[in-house]
Structure 1
Amino acid sequence: MTRSHILIGAGCLSVFSLGAGLTLAQQGSSPENGGPVLTFGLSSTLSATDNYNLDPNNSESAELFDNRLSFGYLNQRANDVFRFDVSGLLRANEPPGDSRTFDDQRARLGYDRQGVNSALSFGADYSLASINSLDPFDQNRFFDDPLEENDLAEDQGDRQQISSRFRFEAGLDNPVGFILDGRYREQTYNDTTDPDLFDSELFNLTGTTRFTLSPVTEVRTILRYDDYTADDTEQTNRQTSSFNLGLTQALSPIDTLDVVVGFQSIETEETILGIRDADTQTGVIGSIDLTRELTRGTIGTSFDLRESVNGQTATWLVNRDLPLPRGSIELSLGATSDVDDTVRPVGSLDFTHEMKRSTLTASLSRQVTTSSRSNELRTTEASLGYNYEINSLSEISFSANYAELKQAGGPAVNDTTRTDLRATYSRNLTPDWRLSSGYEYRLRDETGVGDASSNRVFLTLEREFTVRP
């Protein structure tokens, strides 16, 4: 029996069976005065595409009629919040290469409680979906982590994901406080052909003790443990342990310095040529952050030093957050020295501008990361969105999304890019019913595999409403 069954497996299955055929609810429509709220939704989409699987060699067209149902429960009281959502997509006909007519199944449970001098939160998530139906640009991506290899994968079969988390804070108003944070995640693949899509488990636990020495000085001790297990060719088992000391110091009413220095140990066991081999790597890790509050926004700089099984990576950034009259801009620019001592430009940009009848958003991110598989990746993500309100009942929107994965030192990785373009017209038929139609273009390119594109048109009728029991 795996840790997933111990932590949440039985609970997730029972929760999901109670809500089969229902989908994630939108919590934004809940009344602000608290109490239990039920949210129901229905969305039916008729679509046609000329390459459903994004296959470069054997494109298959498809005409689909999908029905997404939703149910959500939210109970917000004075000191705690309980959330429960379930999701599922009923297909009237099976897409090419997929045998699942009940797809994109999700269940989510969360609880947060604020005590007199403490805080507690925990949650559990479950997802089961065919790989061909996954959207790498989903804003509600199951694991909110940096982009990894399997996020841009294209294959047949299913992917099951399970996660659980908890966080407990004590001594919030005391000179000495304690934080315990734990997370578990599991990915399981069925009926796939790509050897890089293998089962994996990741568990991490972090304990932090905080000492407030004065109103302007805080010291922290941080202990962290990660355990990663994969059913890959090497049967990888990796444990990472670290001990860190942190200091937060207010240098002036507007300047804050945060320093973390630590020591990390990585123990890795792999099977190579039939022989089980163990290796241990140690190194110094840490970070320095300096932030200044300005009349408008903040400015700062940071330096981060981390260690992986492939070597050491150092990143330096300059950051600027600036509120605008009709939006905001968050900008960071810098460079990373990867495990091969190659300096690569990195940074990010988030921009929002609201006009009288329209909204423009843009984001760009480039970073060097170590994936859970211990691959060194240079990831690039970009998005552009524009929404225009034609009148009180209708609007038109455009979006463009781009993602790229490339090797940044370490083991070889296939360069992969994915681009999605979308145009949508929407109209409110009644206060509850909404009609949308549009066009979507997808493009995927992977080294050694080739490029593939698809065109899709769709028509969606949806409704959502809330009820107080």
Structure 2
Amino acid sequence: MKYQLVLRIILFGIVCGVLHLQNRADAQVVELGPGGTQMTLGIAQRFESGRNLRLEVPEEGHGTISSTILSFGVSSETPIQSLSLDAVTALRWTDLPNEDSDFDIGDSIFEFGYAREGANAGLDFGVDFSSYDIGLFRSLNDFIDDEGVLDLPSDFGDLTGDGTRREFNSVFQMDFGRQDLISYNFRINAQNLDYVDQTSPDLFNSDTIGGSAGIGFVLSPVTTATIDIRAERYEEDNPDQTDRKSKSVVFGLSQEVSARTRFDVALGYTEIDERELIAGDDFTSGFIGRIGAEYDMPNGEITFDAESELSLAGRLNSFRIGRSREILGATFSVSLGFAHTDGGRTEPIGSLRYANEFGENELRIFFDRNIVITDDEVFRDEYILDFGYIWGLGPSSRLGLGATHILTDSTEVDPRVERTDLNAVYSYELESQWIINAGLNYSVRDEDGVGRATSPLAFFQIGREFAWRP
């Protein structure tokens, strides 16, 4: 009770602070121009109600969630450097089947980035942290990367049951000699994946740290050579106490064959050494490489890519031919190829992207079929289909429809998992600049050996973002 009272006092204080800032924010333009220092503060109240919100098998009954979502951001930009900080968290009340109602901290995100550009050098530093409830419904849109593409984590198929998933990532990179005949670069990255009170038997804490260093040589105005050395260590707190070390060296060559044609090739050697208490030790080594080419067309370009990767599961060879262009103002790209793994299995791979804005309406289509190597060093088949359409209903309102289907299959470790999201959202902006969102969502999760779970959900949200310059 004391914990809940403290959270309510904190929430009351934050809301009062937002209302105090409202007059200051209203006196300035909410959509600020680029450059300088900017600050944003957002608050939203969201209500969700539906059945089987955890996508459990057997299915649970009706549940309700109320979340007060708070966000804060700072950005600063000058001609030579940029800094950004964004934080989002939620104070959440839940009333779920077979549990007492609860009041706690909900999903949270923190991101920080700093970049500095010089005449002949540059550096980039970034950290991000995310924490969310594994058991409660999570939209597939949360896995969209900075390029608007769904990027599935290695543990996607195991994210079931209860618990909290916490992920921390950091990266630091620098480069020197951009305008010199010899240039240098290095990079350090780290990841910590932590699960708290998880019930899934396949989720284990892990740590990854990696680094790379490279040197580039300008051989001519159209030819560049590179040497890159990489090393990584992966540790997983599973019953095997997995400890995997990998290292590689890669030699590359890039050539501008003509004003419209570019060609690059890379050839290297890698070693992977894994130690496990129960399964025993494993080791593999061999050559890796890539060949790529780009050819500019009057409208878009043609690409060619062939790559050979190596993992403890074996070798993965892939080949793709792609074409991108503009069609009646829309961006369109397509690729087609095949992937071959050890054991003689050959599968088609490919992708399609289409995005178009016409008037107040938007259309987005994305499809990808691929074979990837996961953190468990196994091959995973992925099918991703994402569709979205937005109707502009006037200056203040619009309607959006979306459908996403994902299928992952890794028979060596994880079973076949299918996930589908269907949603409809109506958005309306009030004259006071508060935005109302209301809609429906229907989710399906089907896993071999577990069964099929469905969850219909209705939600309502009202919120606003305040922006100003300090």
The question of a shared fold, defined as TM-score above 0.5 by the shorter chain, is answered with yes
- Correspondences of 1:19-38 after superposition (within 5 Å): 31-38=32-39
Change (3 A) 1:217 1:126: same
SS in 2 for 1:296: coil
- Correspondences of 1:289-328 after superposition (within 5 Å): 289-328=292-331
SS in 2 for 1:137: helix
Would you say 1:138 and 2:142 are equivalent positions?
A: yes
Change (3 A) 1:224 1:94: farther
Aligned equivalents of 1:157, 1:80: Cα separation in 2: 39
Q: Which residue of 2 aligns with 1:166?
A: 172
Q: Which residue of 1 aligns with 2:266?
A: 260
Q: Which residue of 1 aligns with 2:332?
A: 329
- Correspondences of 1:68-79 after superposition (within 5 Å): 68-79=69-80
Would you say 1:240 and 2:246 are equivalent positions?
A: yes
Q: Which residue of 2 aligns with 1:11?
A: none
Greater Cα shift, 147-156 or 354-363: 147-156
- Correspondences of 1:62-461 after superposition (within 5 Å): 62-95=63-96, 101-133=104-136, 134-139=138-143, 146-152=151-157, 153-272=159-278, 277-407=280-410, 411-430=412-431, 432-461=433-462
SS in 1 for 2:155: helix
Aligned equivalents of 1:363, 1:140: Cα separation in 2: 12
Is the Cα–Cα contact under 8 Å of residues 282 and 312 in structure 2 kept in the other structure? Answer: no
Q: Which residue of 1 aligns with 2:9?
A: none
Letter in 2 for 1:251: V
SS in 2 for 1:271: coil
| Displacement of 1:319 | 0.9
Aligned equivalents of 2:209, 2:193: Cα separation in 1: 12
Aligned equivalents of 1:62, 1:326: Cα separation in 2: 45
Matched-pair identity in %: 26
SS in 1 for 2:141: coil
**Considering only aligned residues, what root-mean-square deviation do their CA atoms show, in Å?**
2.3
Change (3 A) 1:74 1:94: farther
Change (3 A) 1:405 1:162: same
Change (3 A) 1:330 1:424: same
SS in 1 for 2:240: coil
| Displacement of 1:337 | 0.3
Change (3 A) 1:422 1:226: same
Letter in 2 for 1:385: G
| Displacement of 1:30 | 6.2
| Displacement of 1:146 | 4.5
Aligned equivalents of 1:20, 1:393: Cα separation in 2: 28
Change (3 A) 1:457 1:373: same
Change (3 A) 1:146 1:356: closer
Aligned equivalents of 1:433, 1:165: Cα separation in 2: 36
| Displacement of 1:142 | 10
Q: Deviations over 1:375-432 (max 9, x none)?
A: 2101111100000011111110000111111127xx2420001000000111111252
Letter in 2 for 1:122: F
Would you say 1:50 and 2:55 are equivalent positions?
A: no
Aligned equivalents of 2:453, 2:43: Cα separation in 1: 32
TM-score, scaled to structure 2: 0.89
Greater Cα shift, 126-135 or 393-402: 126-135
Change (3 A) 1:350 1:440: same
Change (3 A) 1:88 1:101: same
Aligned equivalents of 1:131, 1:141: Cα separation in 2: 20
Letter in 1 for 2:141: F
Letter in 2 for 1:307: L
**Count of residue correspondences:** 441
Is the Cα–Cα contact under 8 Å of residues 263 and 283 in structure 1 kept in the other structure? Answer: yes
Aligned equivalents of 2:14, 2:265: Cα separation in 1: 48
SS in 1 for 2:381: strand
Aligned equivalents of 2:81, 2:167: Cα separation in 1: 27
TM-score, scaled to structure 1: 0.89
Letter in 1 for 2:156: D
Aligned equivalents of 2:227, 2:325: Cα separation in 1: 32
Q: Which residue of 2 aligns with 1:26?
A: none
Aligned equivalents of 1:349, 1:20: Cα separation in 2: 45
Q: Is there any run of 5+ residues in structure 2 with no aligned partner, and where?
A: 1-12, 18-29
SS in 2 for 1:132: coil
| Displacement of 1:199 | 0.4
Aligned equivalents of 2:71, 2:80: Cα separation in 1: 27
Aligned equivalents of 1:281, 1:422: Cα separation in 2: 45
Is the Cα–Cα contact under 8 Å of residues 242 and 263 in structure 1 kept in the other structure? Answer: yes
Aligned equivalents of 1:417, 1:139: Cα separation in 2: 15
Change (3 A) 1:233 1:99: farther
Change (3 A) 1:457 1:189: same
